[in-house]
Amino acid sequence: MSIVRRLDPALRHLAAARIDLSAETLPALRESVNGRRREAAEGLDTTGVEITEEVADGVPLRLYRGGTAGTVLFCHSGAFVLGNLDTDHRWCVEMARSVGCLVVSVDYRLAPEHPHPAALDDASAVLRVLAADPVVGRIALAGNSAGGALAALLAQRAACGELPPVVFQLLHQPVLDDRMTPSKEEFVDTPGFDGQAVALMWQYVSRDAAPARSAELSGVAPALITCSELDPLRDEAVDYALRLMWAGVPVELHLYPGTCHGFDSFLPDWQLSRELFAVQATALRRALAG
């Protein structure tokens, strides 16, 4: 069955949407994506959320204050090579307002100009700053796509004592494994992100950026993993959830049928996207409340 027929009808108009991460097109792609996300961020209703921008240990941040329930350190999407503080602005506003917490979005350095572990080092530095501030309360991690890889790596570092402890990790459509999977082989023409884009992404970062390469997962923070059926990253999300469970880590897994990578960014007001946001908010609210 073709990808178009497998896509939910609400997403079929996106069937031809592709992302080209080739080195020669990367500068123009960054400019285009950043411009669209900036316009979307400027037009968003942020009622109930106080938004400021700060710098912590040299890393630019955007803070979303929606309440005092705790703190979420968030890493944006972008295949390690794209994105900034506008990329997942809507998600941060949604979570700050729905959970009643502080969301701290990290403007980490991008590959290939800043090779791994530059992005992870930036996120680690921010986590240390947050943990040293008694006002932030309990700290959860969250990440979207490549940001999910960073969140998962932070959780692993926290579990082995390299970083301060965290109470939860939320991984949405996460990049987790550089190795081939059936979904990467199958989904070579899926909208949003396809197998070719995944292969190009891994040319910019080393295998050390793949959380699934870790042999030891016991003791990491409990997790919520959300993923899409028609996504080359699907199998590594499911595999990682299983490995967490086998390691004794509490994990909740949601796979959304008929959806592609980034469906919630393409259609944030779609019913399924709203259901996804509600699941994520509930999980964060529970984790931060202890």
- What's the whole-number average pLDDT of the chain? 97
Task: Please write the tens of the pLDDT for every residue from 65-110.
Answer: 999 999 999 999 999 999 999 999 999 999 999 999 999 999 999 9
% of the chain exceeding 90 in pLDDT: 98
- Residue 257's SS3 state is strand
Q: Could you give the residue numbers annotated as active site?
A: 145, 231, 261
Task: Please write the tens of the pLDDT for every residue from 109-119.
Answer: 999 999 999 99
Strands 102-106 and 59-65: antiparallel
- In the prediction, which pLDDT does 246 show? 98
- In the prediction, which pLDDT does 55 show? 98
Would the pLDDT of 1 be above 90?
Answer: no
Would the pLDDT of 254 be above 80?
Answer: yes
Q: How far is CA 269 from CA 34, 63, 85, 145, 265, in A?
A: 21, 23, 21, 20, 9
Would the pLDDT of 188 be above 90?
Answer: yes
- Residue 45's SS3 state is coil
User: What is the rounded CA–CA span in Å between residue 150 and residue 209?
Assistant: 8
- Residue 92's SS3 state is helix
Name the architecture of domain 54-289: 3-Layer(aba) Sandwich (3.40)
- In the prediction, which pLDDT does 154 show? 98
Q: Per mean pLDDT, which range of 1-5, 109-113, 124-128, 258-262 is the poorest?
A: 1-5
pLDDT tier for residue 223 given thresholds of 50, 70 and 90: very high
Residue 69 has φ and ψ, to the nearest 5°, of: -75, -10
Query: 289 Cβ partners below 8 Å, 6+ apart?
Result: 69, 70
% of the chain exceeding 70 in pLDDT: 100
Whole-prediction pTM value? 0.98
- In the prediction, which pLDDT does 290 show? 85
Residue 248 has what DSSP assignment?
A: T
Name residue, tokens 């949604």: 94
Average pLDDT over residues 128-143: 97
